[in-house]
Structure 1
Amino acid sequence: MSQEILLELDDLLQAERELSGLLAAIQADEREARVLYACLQDWKGQSANVLREQVEAFFMETARRIREIEEQKNALIQYVHYMKQVDGAS
């Protein structure tokens, strides 16, 4: 492998590790938020309903962002694999 490609692969692998860390942090925060959300189930009234709707919207957006980051991570992994194949063919 040429030195230039090794550096680029190292950068890509570092980006993959960072995405994995970001996903883990978001998922941990989501689990904590779900525990807190469970406490809202006993609340009654209009303000409780509004808060529940806002929290549910937060969970939907969080799920969307997690999917988006996972897709980016998968694309990055595929690209790293491709780069290794191309470099091995040289």
Structure 2
Amino acid sequence: MSQEILLELDDLLQAERELTGLLAALRSDEQEARVMYARLQDWKGQSANVLRDQIEVFFMEMSRRIREIEEQKSALVQYVQYMKQVDGAS
């Protein structure tokens, strides 16, 4: 492999590791938030309903962002594989 491609692959692989770490942290935070959210089920009244609605929107947005990051990571992994194939063909 040429040195330029090695450096680029190292950068891409580092980005993949960072995305993996970010996804793990987001999933952990989401799980912790869901545990806290479960405690709200005993709360009654208008303010409890408003808070539950806000938290549900938060969970939907977090799920959307996790899916986006997973898609970006998948695209990155595919690109790394492509770069390895191209380099192997030269």
TM-score, normalised on structure 1? 1.00
Shift of 1:14: 0.1
Residue 72 (str. 1) matches residue 62 (str. 2): no
**4+ aligned runs moved over 4 Å, structure 1:** none
Shift of 1:54: 0.3
Q: Which amino acid is the alignment partner of residue 52 of structure 1?
A: R
Please name the residue that 1:5 is paired with: 5
TM-score, normalised on structure 2? 1.00
Shift of 1:50: 0.1
Stretches of structure 2 that go unaligned for 5 or more consecutive residues are: none
Once the two structures are aligned, what percentage of the paired residues are identical? 83
Once the two structures are superposed, what CA deviation does each residue of 1:49-71 show, in whole Å capped at 9, x if it has no partner? 00000000000000000000000
> How far apart in 2 are the matches of 1:79 and 1:48?
46
Stretches of structure 1 that go unaligned for 5 or more consecutive residues are: none
Once the two structures are superposed, what CA deviation does each residue of 1:39-88 show, in whole Å capped at 9, x if it has no partner? 00000000000000000000000000000000000000000000000000
Aligned residues: 90
Shift of 1:11: 0.2
Q: Which amino acid is the alignment partner of residue 70 of structure 1?
A: E
